[in-house]
Structure 1
Amino acid sequence: MEKGQALLTREGNKFGLFISLLLLLLGCILFFFSFDRQIVSILKTTLMHEMGVGNKEYSLLITAFMLPYIVMYFFSGALVDKFGSRCVLTFLMLLMSIATLITGLAHSLTGMLIGRFILGIAESGVVPALTLAIFTWFRAEQRAFAFQLTNIIQSLGLIVAPPFIAWVTLAGGWRWAFFIPAAAGIVVGLLWFLASRRQPTSAEPLPEKEDDRVSTLQRYKLVLASAPVWTLIIARLLTDPFWFFYQYWQIGFMQEKLGLSLARVGELMWFPPLAAVFGVLLVCRISDRLVARGVEPTRARLNLIWTVTCLAPLIFLLPTVQNIWLAVGIMTVINFMCTAWLSMVTIMMGGLVPRAAIATAIGIMSALGGISAILFNGFVGTIIDAFGYAVPIYIGAMLHPAGAIVLAVYFLRRKNNQGE
């Protein structure tokens, strides 16, 4: 036990070899979590020609992924809290690969819908499992940075996807853009299962078998009875629609509005997530340093959320942009702001609930946020056909500021009440 603890605490915030390996594998799982869902959006125009997928059909593909993704979030977090991350993440990683393979084998819209439906089920448990692991293995002043280290690898999925998928599609056909990541994902899932047999020592150990004494119903009660939790959920209800819209329609916007070819997409669209990942890493580092200097953790995360939200007005420029480089710059701002938001809100949630209910809380928050996202994105295809991209972009540009206002009203009033 003492040796395991030393691995975690040696040299301050530096991580031992074993935990670094587990973080690397968790990051690889997140890599495919991001990569697999991006394949269809990057190939939107290609599938339009190859499979007859128009904007309405594309909206169906998004809905086929998001509906089970959202519904399963209500249950996946509780399952992670009950069974832990080892077996759950292994199963989910293998299921993600199977779903990606099915999508690549499809010869009709129905086949692709089935693949996306299974992918939605598989991806619903990944973030709760990761968050529970971070809050189990790391102290409060380490968590945001550790969380972002895994997110760096996740972001590589967003960075690598456009050039890789474009190259593979142009070289060997679009189906190989599904087959290759499906095979690689199976390997990563098996490596995680083998490596995670040895459990790391927690920085803040739980009482023995505490999780076994907390029932699933009690976990839901712990989450749903908390006013701060509901405030974060409301913020996600407001902001998730734009984040999902950006992820699934950014490539379509660049191709249809600015005339980019698939090859040109591969050349340019890796940059926004690359720049964003370093920006968010800095945000997380600043957040942890504030906590280490005595700032209350929730307030440290909030300060960074309010700061990055100041970038939102730049989004209003996007519909009128004609210059490709300016469009890529605004896409970079969007990616950074939304990713920083998600990182800070997730870390905040983990600090506001008992550890036995962390994954449950993340699951419920993600599920309810996803409901608003699916409602918004379910109509986006029709709106774009009728009015173009400007209407959803203008609406989306207002959502993160609205979420920041909700957080400010509740948490500042709470601080004032506590001060009294």
Structure 2
Amino acid sequence: MTLPRRSWLLLALLFGIGLLNYLDRQTLSILKATLKTELTLTDTHYSWLVTAFMGPYIVFYILSGRLVDRFGTRISLSIFAAVWSVANILSGLAQGFGQLAGARALLGAAEPGAFPAIQRVMMTWFPTERRAFAWSLLSPCTTVGAIMAPPLVAALTSYWNWHMAFILPGIAGLVLAAMWWASDRNPPTFPNEAEPAAQPPAMREILADRRVWLLLGARAMTDPVWYFHLFWLPGYLQERLGVSLPQLGWIGWIPSFIASAAVMATGRTTDAFVARGHSAVRVRITMFSLAAILAPVGAFTTFAPSITWALVMISLVAICCQIWFFGQGLLVADIFSKNSAATIAGLLGAVGASGGLLLNVIAGPLIERAGYIPVFVILSCLHPLAAIMLWRAKKGLLTPQPA
């Protein structure tokens, strides 16, 4: 089947939007050591800043999914991208803790809408038989954002100052929002694929499906690992291993690059198994289980004898995290209909972020009192536990089971 050129244009724009989404949220963690000096912050203050982001992030993950299913992706994603770009600019203009916390809260309210919108766009502009390949091309966008963030933030801070590290990406986001508004029009129709109902199903109908609850449980257990890596590891490398900000710019992208390559290879491999007639759901769960084997390596991060070995361990855990993120979007598309997919993606994101928020609230005081070891040990157990849960419940994911 020949896809319209606009499908590939939108995929490219989605890549840029997802890239900026992760770059913008990671700027604060990369500048943690700098801002602690510039704005006189402590680890507890930093924990509050992350909480200021995560609180609205959780609430608006649920709301944004419903908005995407109700109003479509053209309006919703344009607004989400524009608002979080403004929030990023305001972060760069902040002169104190209160202003920075307010800007991070606005960022947290707007950023989660990208992922339910992406879920809906991929199911609208790509047919089932082409979707996995398209998704494998899109999936590295967040990791590329994470790859670009350390060197770009370090370069902008060194050339200008930390303010511009927030402001310039914010301006780029406003440009992408305008481009999305101009491009997301006249979606195609594909044979053998039913059009979604005009209105999404009621939330109570979605929550009556036990498959949703299985995925929510897995997401709540695994997302905290990635959020910790996103918000705390750049500071860990600088404060505990003596990595300078310029050095972080040179090496901080390595785990995300390796994870991105692993995700693309995994996508091609799982596509091959599905093409041979294997159940897509079983293939995804097997993929999750194999990736979870890597997670316990993270418990030994604090015992790494050098920065090189620390990066190896961090990279293995990043592979695990990114394979789970990649697979969850496909699993939602495999199981659920188009008119409820964004809502379910929003629920999954909200629950996962709630786990990340809980960990963040605990992490700051715990690290100040006991160091990083207890946190790394706890996180190393979460992916294996989630894999066991999904493996035991895999039959329940194949058919709807009312609660």
TM category (shorter chain) comes to: over 0.9
**Partner in structure 2 of residue 379 of structure 1:** 362
Counterpart selection for 1:198 from 170, 186, 189: 186
> Mean alpha-carbon deviation: is it higher for 259-268 or for 407-416?
407-416
Is contact 2:298–2:317 with CA below 8 Å preserved after alignment? yes
Is contact 1:32–1:157 with CA below 8 Å preserved after alignment? yes
Q: Provide the C-alpha distance between the structure 1 equivalents of 2:337 and 2:16, rounded to a whole number of angstroms.
A: 28
**Partner in structure 2 of residue 211 of structure 1:** 197
Q: Provide the C-alpha distance between the structure 2 equivalents of 1:145 and 1:388, rounded to a whole number of angstroms.
A: 42
SS of the residue corresponding to residue 107 of structure 1 reads coil
Instruction: Report Cα offsets for 1:300-350 as digits up to 9, x if no partner.
Output: 111111111111121121011131111111111121110111111221122
TM-score normalised over the length of structure 2: 0.95
Task: Output aligned runs, 1:105-116, within 5 Å.
Answer: 105-116=93-104
Q: Provide the C-alpha distance between the structure 2 equivalents of 1:131 and 1:202, rounded to a whole number of angstroms.
A: 17
Q: Is 1:230 the equivalent of 2:213? A: yes
| 1:59 Cα deviation from its structure 2 partner | 0.5
**Partner in structure 1 of residue 346 of structure 2:** 363
> Mean alpha-carbon deviation: is it higher for 221-230 or for 269-278?
221-230
SS of the residue corresponding to residue 197 of structure 1 reads coil
**Partner in structure 1 of residue 285 of structure 2:** 302
Change (3 A) 1:415 1:75: closer
> Mean alpha-carbon deviation: is it higher for 135-144 or for 109-118?
135-144
| 1:354 Cα deviation from its structure 2 partner | 2.1
**Partner in structure 2 of residue 161 of structure 1:** 149
Counterpart selection for 2:235 from 252, 267, 276: 252
Q: Provide the C-alpha distance between the structure 2 equivalents of 1:149 and 1:222, rounded to a whole number of angstroms.
A: 33
Is contact 2:26–2:146 with CA below 8 Å preserved after alignment? yes
Q: Is 1:243 the equivalent of 2:200? A: no
Aligned-pair Cα RMSD in Å: 1.8
Q: Is 1:281 the equivalent of 2:264? A: yes
| 1:139 Cα deviation from its structure 2 partner | 3.3
Q: Is 1:151 the equivalent of 2:146? A: no
Residue type at the aligned position of 2:135: F
**Partner in structure 2 of residue 327 of structure 1:** 310
**Partner in structure 1 of residue 78 of structure 2:** 90
**Partner in structure 2 of residue 264 of structure 1:** 247
Q: Provide the C-alpha distance between the structure 2 equivalents of 1:143 and 1:302, rounded to a whole number of angstroms.
A: 18
% identical aligned pairs: 34
Is contact 2:281–2:398 with CA below 8 Å preserved after alignment? no
TM-score normalised over the length of structure 1: 0.91
SS of the residue corresponding to residue 110 of structure 2 reads helix
Task: Output aligned runs, 1:402-413, within 5 Å.
Answer: 402-411=385-394
Counterpart selection for 2:107 from 104, 119, 125: 119
> Mean alpha-carbon deviation: is it higher for 303-312 or for 132-141?
132-141
Runs of 5+ consecutive residues of structure 1 not aligned to the other structure: 1-5, 9-15
Across the two proteins, how many residue pairs are aligned to each other?
400
Task: Output aligned runs, 1:39-118, within 5 Å.
Answer: 39-118=27-106
Q: Provide the C-alpha distance between the structure 2 equivalents of 1:203 and 1:122, rounded to a whole number of angstroms.
A: 35
Counterpart selection for 2:116 from 125, 128, 133: 128
Q: Provide the C-alpha distance between the structure 2 equivalents of 1:415 and 1:144, rounded to a whole number of angstroms.
A: 19
Q: Provide the C-alpha distance between the structure 1 equivalents of 2:176 and 2:125, rounded to a whole number of angstroms.
A: 21
Is contact 1:229–1:349 with CA below 8 Å preserved after alignment? no
| 1:141 Cα deviation from its structure 2 partner | 4.0
Counterpart selection for 2:375 from 388, 392, 407: 392
Change (3 A) 1:149 1:185: same
Is contact 1:222–1:353 with CA below 8 Å preserved after alignment? no
**Partner in structure 2 of residue 13 of structure 1:** none
Runs of 5+ consecutive residues of structure 2 not aligned to the other structure: none
**Partner in structure 2 of residue 347 of structure 1:** 330
Change (3 A) 1:373 1:222: same
| 1:82 Cα deviation from its structure 2 partner | 1.1
Q: Is 1:36 the equivalent of 2:24? A: yes
Instruction: Report Cα offsets for 1:28-53 as digits up to 9, x if no partner.
Output: 11011111000000000000100112
Is contact 1:258–1:322 with CA below 8 Å preserved after alignment? no
Q: Provide the C-alpha distance between the structure 1 equivalents of 2:191 and 2:244, rounded to a whole number of angstroms.
A: 50
| 1:226 Cα deviation from its structure 2 partner | 1.2
Q: Provide the C-alpha distance between the structure 2 equivalents of 1:125 and 1:184, rounded to a whole number of angstroms.
A: 18
Q: Is 1:315 the equivalent of 2:298? A: yes
**Partner in structure 2 of residue 11 of structure 1:** none
SS of the residue corresponding to residue 143 of structure 2 reads helix
